[in-house]
Amino acid sequence: MPSAVRPPRTLYDKVFEDHIVDEKDGNVLLYIDRHLVHEVTSPQAFEGLRNASRKVRRPDCTLATVDHNIPTASRKNLTTTEKFIDEADSRTQCMTLEENVKAFDLTYFGLDDKRQGIVHIIGPEQGFTLPGTTVVCGDSHTSTHGAFGALAFGIGTSEVEHVLATQTLITTRSKNMKVQVDGELAPGVSSKDIILHVIGIIGTAGGTGCVIEFCGSAIRSLSMEARMSICNMSIEGGARAGMVAPDQTTFEYLKGRPLAPKTDSAEWKKAVSYWSTLKSDEDAKWDHEIFIDCKDIAPTVSWGTSPQDVVPITGVVPGPDDFQDEDKKKSCKKALAYMGLIAGTPMQEIPVDKVFIGSCTNARIEDLRAAARVVEGKKVASNIKRAMIVPGSGLVKQQAEAEGLDKIFTDAGFEWREAGCSMCLGMNPDILSPGERCASTSNRNFEGRQGAGGRTHLMSPVMAAAAAIVGNLADVRKLAPPSMAADKGSPKIELDAHMEDVSSDEDLDRIIDAPADPVSHPPSQSTAGISAGMPKFETLRGYAAPMDIANIDTDAIIPKQFLKTIKRSGLGSALFHAWRYEPGSDNEDASFVLNQEPYRNSKILVCTGPNFGCGSSREHAPWALLDFGIKCVIAPSFGDIFFNNTFKNGMLPIRITDSSALNRVADVAKAGKEVEVDLPNQVIRDADGDELAKFDVEEFRKHCLVNGLDDIALTMGKVEQIERHEARRTREWPWLDGSGYLARHRKGPVKVEAVSVPKTNRGEELKEPLEW
Ligand SMILES: CC(C)[C@H](C(=O)O)[C@@H](O)C(=O)O
Ligand code: SF4
């Protein structure tokens, strides 16, 4: 007899299972409650919808804004986006989003709206992010929203299109990892130090394949904003998502948010009672557990080019001899050369050129308050060329100004900017010049991240503020009173005044009046000709380019300046741009493998270093590889989002954990001989047909690749199950339906007919059965 008692479950298990629309052979069709959209990763997705004459299934569950490309200069003279953004590609990308939100009738916070801001700041701010929801965005730092006990993760552009069309994703279960942080944070130590410390311990691949739950007394005592900074950087620890169980702190934060259920209503009570069940059962099983004591955490800074390269501010720059592992010794040498640092130098003796306080990690009101407490009454050091404060949203900026924080910063010599991603990745005018060193509150210190040749040191807002005042990387504890860094339980941002105008009829009508015919409103710059469907993959034979670098991130595969396209094609020449060309020129660097024969014609890439494709969710990385001619990447492990993105483009990523098998493949690659990848038989051979390695691949993914199946069309075949889930959702979690700004106008999903003769996005009829 099957047992009626359910096995103990983690918070992740509970949220995941409440969103299963359908499940077969380990593949799950997962319902998505909240979809955030920004200008960089959406144009090709909307184009895919147009090509297949599809609509957005749940406009009421979709929220769009511009953040990455926009200048953070004053908007006093803003008239239109077209006039405001000088850089042509950035302008096109932002205007394309504006046209798409009109055409598809979506809620949009544009440059003229106070609610505009970094996508991961505005979701929580508006109450769009709620406990127990599934939240996605074409952006890796979607993990931020997990602070609410939501299952929130980044996706690529093909998946953005899938969610827009079906409000679901095809996925598999992740593993459960617990990171328990206990004790009390010492003065000067904040949530950013916790997460930098954790990543220093687990490494950037430590969370691969896992959802991390952060728990323990230290996490419980943190404010929501501090919890968001921690979950934000779970992606830097390689995890799919980070989560914190919702509690009274969460409920207090949500009270009065425009899109949360109205406080004290019956719906609020029902919601709180459901949210209160969202915690891991006592005896839940964990695949990995990490325990950390706060007394071991000091103010922490990064020294290298990976977020795992961290030391306490009281430490020194490490050298290759400090590492046992050969890969790590090599990475350390490379990082020191890039960062212009000498092993053994005390961290506090490193001079800084620029200071950036902003990003989705640390641009909330509490971050600005904490930094202002350090800066108050002091001056930015004379060697600092530029110190910037970039609030995470228009509402954060407004609140900070109401509290006089802007004045504290500008009196000290900081620039007070408008909301956006800014110098976190420099897709906008805010960048580092080559060789400049930046104290930054952002989340990634990859080579070239803040500008080609720029050098980033990650740290907390109070530490960045201290660096600005001292002119070197500095220990904030020497500079400010002990109470300064407490980032707990501080008062809420003032939303009320603005909420009133938001829900006025006039405001709603401004949003609603946009034309709603997706097919008749093409974007200004045509994306015609792109293919959203999947080419088939069976057997691939060709040269394999060998690489032996660990943690090759997607910023390295394709740097930010090439993300401004609204097409999928033409990115091959940008592949590995910073490594392939000499600095600042179009001259090839002859030492880079893809500039050598026969690797100019590679169809395969073999990387012996782990964690290939970690970092950002940019699908531009597989697009660039594909455009160059590479259809298959072989490595010991991959970043989760990159791994998914390759499949969506008819590419095959192969994990080979057996190092001797991997080395056999790499040796053939290095000898300049051809390699054959046989997907149906799951084997890699040399040119003579001798087996080099076997590999695993999920059955469903293989089926899609071999048959060139388009999974949006497959999911459209599941419309009845989706509708059943939506009916349950309305019954059990009524606050999730159309509680948005458009509630009065839309009561449910856009009707999607079940497809009788299913077609791919390329318009071809599917011969294969629709089962998966
Ligand atoms: C542009 C976007 C795809 C990217 C991400 O996914 O993280 C960006 O936000 C980043 O931080 O690199
Ligand atoms: S990490 Fe930086 S670029 Fe990416 S969303 Fe956050 S602020 Fe924007």
Which residue lies with its CA nearest to atom 5 of ligand 1? 616
d(CA 191, CA 280): 22
Mean pLDDT of 391-402: 98
> Among 529, 531, 526, which Cα is nearest to 649's?
531
Which residue lies with its CA nearest to atom 3 of ligand 1? 618
**Is pLDDT of 480 > 80?**
no
Mean pLDDT lowest among 33-42, 49-58, 753-762:
753-762
d(CA 504, CA 499): 9
d(CA 545, CA 39): 33
Question: pLDDT: is 488 or 440 the higher one?
Answer: 440
Question: pLDDT: is 583 or 344 the higher one?
Answer: 344
**Confidence bin at 740 (pLDDT 50/70/90):** low
Q: What is the 3-state secondary structure (H, E, C) of 614-649?
A: ECCCCCHHHHHHHHHCCCEEEECCECHHHHHHHHCC
Determine whether the shortest distance from the Cβ of 381 to ligand 2 is under 6 A: no
Q: What is the pLDDT of residues 641-663, one digit of tens each?
A: 999 999 999 999 999 999 999 99
Distance in Å, CA 142 to ligand 2 centroid: 10
**Is pLDDT of 671 > 80?**
yes
Residue 67: both structure tokens together = 């953040």
Pocket test for ligand 1, best of 66, 67, 68, 444 (most atoms within 8 A of CB): 68
d(CA 165, CA 719): 11
Mean pLDDT lowest among 74-78, 496-500, 623-627:
496-500
- Please, is 459 exposed, middle or buried when counting C-beta atoms within 10 Å of its C-beta (0-12, 13-18, 19+)? buried
Strand partners of residue 607: 547
Q: Which atom of ligand 1 is nearest to the CA of 139?
A: 6
Look at domain 11-295 and name its CATH class. alpha beta
Instruction: Tell me the ligand closest to 156's alpha carbon.
Output: 1
Mean pLDDT of 287-307: 98
pLDDT for residue 481: 59
Pairing state between β 134-137 and 107-109: unpaired
| Same fold: 11-295 with 301-484 | yes
Mean pLDDT of 739-766: 46
Q: What global pTM score does this model have?
A: 0.92
**Is pLDDT of 403 > 50?**
yes
ipTM: 0.99
* Contact call for residues 200 and 91 (beta carbons, < 8 A): no
The phi and psi torsions of 163 (rounded to 5 degrees) equal: -70, -40
pLDDT for residue 677: 98
CATH superfamily of this structure's domain 301-484 = Aconitase, domain 3 (3.30.499.10)
Cα dist. 514→44, 97, 105, 641 in Å? Answer: 21, 13, 6, 33
**Is pLDDT of 412 > 70?**
yes
3-state DSSP assignment of residue 425: coil
Strand partners of residue 676: 541, 685
pLDDT for residue 589: 97
d(CA 489, CA 491): 7
pLDDT for residue 534: 74
Q: What is the pLDDT of residues 213-271, one digit of tens each?
A: 999 999 999 999 999 999 999 999 999 999 999 999 999 999 999 999 999 899 999 99
Determine whether the shortest distance from the Cβ of 423 to ligand 2 is under 6 A: no
DSSP letter for each residue of 541-579: EEEEEEE--SS-BHHHHS-GGGTT-SSSSS-GGGTTHHH
Please provide the average confidence, as pLDDT, over all residues in the chain.
90
Which residue lies with its CA nearest to atom 6 of ligand 2? 360
Q: Which atom of ligand 2 is nearest to the CA of 359?
A: 7
Residue 383: both structure tokens together = 């060697």
All structural domains of the chain with their residue ranges: 11-295, 301-484, 539-695
pLDDT for residue 771: 55
Question: pLDDT: is 509 or 155 the higher one?
Answer: 155
Instruction: Tell me the ligand closest to 361's alpha carbon.
Output: 2
What single-letter amino acid sits at 119?
Answer: V
* Contact call for residues 551 and 609 (beta carbons, < 8 A): yes
Question: Quick one: CATH architecture of 539-695?
Answer: Alpha-Beta Barrel (3.20)
Mean pLDDT lowest among 491-500, 518-527, 738-747:
518-527
pLDDT for residue 331: 94
Q: What is the pLDDT of residues 54-87, one digit of tens each?
A: 999 999 999 999 999 999 999 999 999 999 999 9
Residue 394: both structure tokens together = 């228009």
Q: What is the pLDDT of residues 98-147, one digit of tens each?
A: 999 999 999 999 999 999 999 999 999 999 999 999 999 999 999 999 99
Determine whether the shortest distance from the Cβ of 140 to ligand 2 is under 6 A: no
Q: What is the 3-state secondary structure (H, E, C) of 684-751?
A: EEECCCCEEEECCCCHHHHHHHHHCCCHHHHHHCCHHHHHHHHHHHHHHCHHHCCCCCCCCCCCCCCC
**Is pLDDT of 517 > 60?**
no
Mean pLDDT of 573-599: 96
**Confidence bin at 483 (pLDDT 50/70/90):** low
**Confidence bin at 713 (pLDDT 50/70/90):** confident
Determine whether the shortest distance from the Cβ of 181 to ligand 2 is under 6 A: no
Query: Which residues does a 6 A CB cutoff place in the pocket of ligand 1?
Result: 40-41, 68, 139-141, 154, 425, 563, 616-618
